[in-house]
Structure 1
Amino acid sequence: MSASFREIRRRCEAMASSLPLPQPFDARTLCRRVARRRGRPITLNPMNGGDSGVLGLWVATDQADMLFYEATTTPPHQEHIILHELSHVLCDHYPARLSANELTRLLMPNLDPAMVERILGRTTYGAVEEQEAELLASLIRQRAQREAAPDRETTDVADRINAVFDWPKPRHD
């Protein structure tokens, strides 16, 4: 029996509100804090997904969680990918195992496939896990924005678009 979206949202909201968000917000700092809290290292690794279509990946080894993110996209998009993959870690998702050949092809030739216990790629997990990770990543970002400017309610469409692309705010002279 699958969880309803309402249950998933409630679970994600509780998780997002319990995270030790840094101020100013930075996804990399959040990863370090989560790693400390879990007692397990999290490494961030830029990758070039190229034609594979893979933008982010979570690889869990016996010693650490490795988050891979697309290196050739914008910094705000990289941050969202990192938050998405971190959300898979936080939700403790378990995907199907990949073969050693698939691991080598997807990751890098110098990574020993024998050390990998589990792996997450955007195309290998179910819709519920994808929704949960995407929702949690978005809720983390929303909380960070609220805490950064608690007195400001963003209603201006241009401000929201600029925030998504990390562009400077327009001047209203």
Structure 2
Amino acid sequence: MFSRLTRRSHVHDVLSQIPLIAPWTVGEFLDWMAEHTQRKVILSPWTSPHEEFGGRCGLVWGTDDSYIIRYDPDHTVRHQRQQILHECSHILCQHEGEPFCPTESVLTEGLDINSLRWVMRRDTFDTPTEAEAELLGTQLAVRSKGPVDATSLGALHRIAGTFGPHS
């Protein structure tokens, strides 16, 4: 079981390995993460209605060569960044996903279910891995700016940041 001090130390260690200059965009971060992990990182927003499974939290799927991150496109841009970077935090902290037996469902909608090997999803908020991913995800989100699409230019956010705080 991780203590708070151990979690904070691990989060600090992970943050110290990120060579990006803040504020970065989600696209810049995912490009770095793909290079760092040697796996593609694919954003896949939820497309089914909220009501189908009681809300749309983020989750991450693992395939042989990629991570697929689901997030809710109906949330604010800040919340989208938080969801995405929380899921990235599970990967960076090397949290283990659970094996997945492919089935067609709302969770796999639009994905090639035969390529899915594992999933990391939240059953409860009160676990050491969720606390660690939330702590790191928040630290990453605070350092990020702009929309979650790949066309956002981080350099513009860094230049604008010299003149004052922006979201």
* Fold shared per TM-score above 0.5: yes
The separation in 2 between residues aligned to 1:86 and 1:116, in whole angstroms, is: 17
How far apart, in 2, do the equivalents of 1:114 and 1:87 lie?
25
CA RMSD of superposed structures (Å):
2.7
Write the deviation string for residues 120-149 of structure 1: whole angstroms up to 9, x where unpaired: 12337871110111011112234569xx66
Q: Secondary structure at the match of 1:59?
A: strand
The residue that corresponds to 1:122 in the other structure is 122
1:36-51 maps to which residues of 2 (within 5 A)?
A: 36-48=35-47, 50-51=50-51
Partner of 1:71: 73
Does residue 31 of structure 2 align to residue 16 of structure 1?
A: no
CA contact (8 A) 1:59 1:67 kept: yes
Structure 1, unaligned stretches of length 5 or more? 153-158, 167-173
1:58 equivalent in structure 2: 60
Tell me: CA distance 1:34–1:43, structure 2 relative to 1, closer, same or farther (3 Å). same
Q: Please say if residues 54 and 123 of structure 1, whose CA atoms lie closer than 8 Å, have aligned partners that are also in contact.
A: no
Residue in 2 aligned with 1:107?
Answer: 108
Structure 1 CA distance, aligned partners of 2:10 and 2:70? 25
SS at match of 2:105: helix
TM-superposed CA distance for 1:107, in Å, is 2.2
Tell me the residue number matched to 1:133.
133
Superposed CA offset, 1:90-135 (max 9, x none): 112113334423x633120x42323211111233787111011101
Which among 85, 88, 96 is matched to residue 90 of structure 2? 88
Uncovered stretches (5+) of structure 2, i.e. residues with no partner: 146-157
CA 1:15/1:112 → structure 2, altered by over 3 Å: closer, same or farther?
same
More helix by share: 1
C-alpha contact 1:54 1:121 (8 A) present in aligned 2: no
Distance 1:111 1:143 in 2: 30
Q: TM-score, normalization: structure 1?
A: 0.74
Aligned length: 150
Q: Secondary structure at the match of 2:130?
A: helix
Checking the alignment, whether the CA contact within 8 Å between 1:43 and 1:64 is kept in structure 2 is yes
- Matches of 2:22 and 2:2 in 1, distance apart? 33
1:125–1:104 distance in 2 versus 1, CA, 3 Å: farther
Superposition TM-score, scaled by structure 2 size: 0.76
